[in-house]
């Protein structure tokens, strides 16, 4: 059985390949990547695979039984890109697709939701067996700002008192591996999120606790937060999007208490304190 993993040179994809290798499946894993040279260190077969190039995709999927379709990162182009992949998978005789969607994609107010929902619909309409993993936020989305918060003396955002049930990327990668290897996941949709939820004020308190420095959470209006992100050099459209996602968080878009992720991986999700600890260790 060959398992194709798209986005295998990305942060989540690398972890997925690692988990499948841990399960002794390296000879069955095929990294489907834009730049095969970047996949050399993965230690698995790599094939060129660009979501924008429909002509290339069918051949690259030759012999693949299960396909892990990790959503791309080019916002606004993904519904078409993912549809290209699904169409090619059908032509190539792929027997099932695992797709990484967005938490509560059908009800979420996040600007990311429509592209994911469109892909879910395309996937279901394809007639291919599928599993949809609606991933909540990676804790690393926030802990990636720890250095900035330390430098500024405050953690900023516009998520208000919104509760966030994030989990570590590694937890989501493990869920993908569990679904690929396990049975009983065909034509199912899972809402995946961390076991424990927190507000950004609680995250700031955890950073303060671990560093011994007072790092308060400073909640800002969405436009103000976007302005600050732009001043850091983040492109305008992306800064606006990040700030709007925090507003979504304030409305509960990132909250989920169904514990489906820990059930899938058979253990509790990585605690917030652990991911903060790792982020702080990375600063040394």
Q: What mask, x for binding ligand NAP by CB under 6 A, covers residues 109 to 148?
A: --------------------------x-xx--x-------
Nearer to ligand NAP, 59 or 153 (CB): 59
Which residue of the chain is nearest ligand NAP when measured via CB? 10
Min. distance of Cβ 117 from ligand NAP in angstroms? 14
Beta bridge partners of 33: 48
Nearer to ligand NAP, 39 or 178 (CB): 39
Q: Binders of ligand NAP among 212-251, rule CB under 6 A?
A: none
Min. distance of Cβ 100 from ligand NAP in angstroms? 6
Give, in order, the Cα–Cα distances in Å from 93 to each of 44, 53, 62, 126: 22, 18, 8, 12
Give, in order, the Cα–Cα distances in Å from 7 to each of 48, 88, 100, 150, 207: 11, 16, 11, 32, 31
The Cα–Cα gap between 218 and 233 comes to 20
Min. distance of Cβ 45 from ligand NAP in angstroms? 16
Min. distance of Cβ 211 from ligand NAP in angstroms? 24
Q: Is 81 in the site for ligand NAP (CB under 6 A)?
A: yes
Among 9, 158, 219, 262, binds ligand NAP (CB under 6 A): 9
Nearer to ligand NAP, 71 or 165 (CB): 71
Cα 60–15–277 angle (5° rounding)? 160
The Cα–Cα gap between 174 and 177 comes to 5
Q: Is 84 in the site for ligand NAP (CB under 6 A)?
A: no
Give, in order, the Cα–Cα distances in Å from 14 to each of 19, 27, 31, 155: 9, 16, 9, 29
Min. distance of Cβ 44 from ligand NAP in angstroms? 14
Nearer to ligand NAP, 9 or 199 (CB): 9
C-beta separation of 145 from 139 below 8 A: no
Nearer to ligand NAP, 76 or 212 (CB): 76
Q: Is 4 in the site for ligand NAP (CB under 6 A)?
A: no
Taking the CA atoms of 58, 64, 45 and 102 in sequence, report the sign of the dihedral they define.
positive
Nearer to ligand NAP, 73 or 223 (CB): 73
Nearer to ligand NAP, 214 or 258 (CB): 258
Non-local CB neighbours of 160 within 8 Å, separated by 6+ positions: 199, 219, 249, 250
Min. distance of Cβ 202 from ligand NAP in angstroms? 18
Which residue is listed with tokens 């990375």? 282
Q: How many helices (H) and strands (E) does the chain have?
A: 12, 9
Show the DSSP H helices in the chain as ranges. 11-22, 54-60, 78-92, 113-126, 140-143, 146-152, 169-181, 200-211, 222-231, 236-250, 260-265, 272-282
Q: Is 262 in the site for ligand NAP (CB under 6 A)?
A: no
DSSP 50: -
Q: Is 10 in the site for ligand NAP (CB under 6 A)?
A: yes
Nearer to ligand NAP, 153 or 235 (CB): 235
Which residue ranges make up the site for ligand NAP (CB under 6 A)? 6-7, 9-13, 33-35, 49-52, 70-74, 81, 100, 135, 137-138, 141
């Amino acid at each position: 059985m060959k398992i194709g993993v798209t986005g295998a040179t990305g942060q989540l994809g690398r972890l997925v390949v690692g988990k499948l290798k841990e399960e002794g499946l390296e000879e069955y894993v095929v990294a489907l990547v834009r730049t095969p040279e970047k996949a050399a260190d993965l230690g698995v077969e790599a094939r060129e695979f660009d979501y924008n190039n429909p002509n290339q995709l069918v051949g690259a999927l030759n012999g693949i039984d299960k396909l892990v379709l990790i959503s791309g990162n080019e916002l606004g182009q993904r519904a078409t890109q993912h549809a290209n992949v699904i169409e090619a998978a059908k032509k190539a005789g792929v027997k099932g697709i695992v797709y990484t969607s967005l938490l509560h994609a059908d009800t979420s107010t996040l600007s990311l939701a429509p592209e994911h929902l469109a892909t879910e619909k395309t996937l279901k309409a394809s007639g291919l067996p599928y599993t949809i993993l609606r991933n909540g936020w990676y804790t690393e989305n926030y802990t990636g700002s720890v250095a900035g918060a330390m430098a500024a003396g405050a953690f900023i955002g516009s998520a208000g008192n919104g509760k966030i049930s994030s989990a570590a990327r590694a937890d989501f990668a493990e869920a993908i591996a569990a679904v690929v290897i396990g049975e009983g996941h065909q034509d199912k949709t899972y809402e995946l999120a961390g076991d424990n939820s927190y507000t950004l004020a609680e995250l700031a308190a955890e950073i303060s606790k671990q560093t011994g420095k007072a790092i308060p959470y400073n909640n800002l209006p969405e436009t103000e937060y976007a302005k600050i992100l732009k001043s850091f050099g983040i492109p305008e459209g992306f800064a606006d999007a990040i700030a709007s996602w925090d507003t979504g968080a304030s409305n509960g878009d990132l909250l989920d208490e169904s514990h489906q992720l820990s059930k899938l991986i058979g253990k509790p999700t990585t605690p917030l304190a652990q991911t903060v600890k790792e982020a702080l260790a990375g600063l040394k």
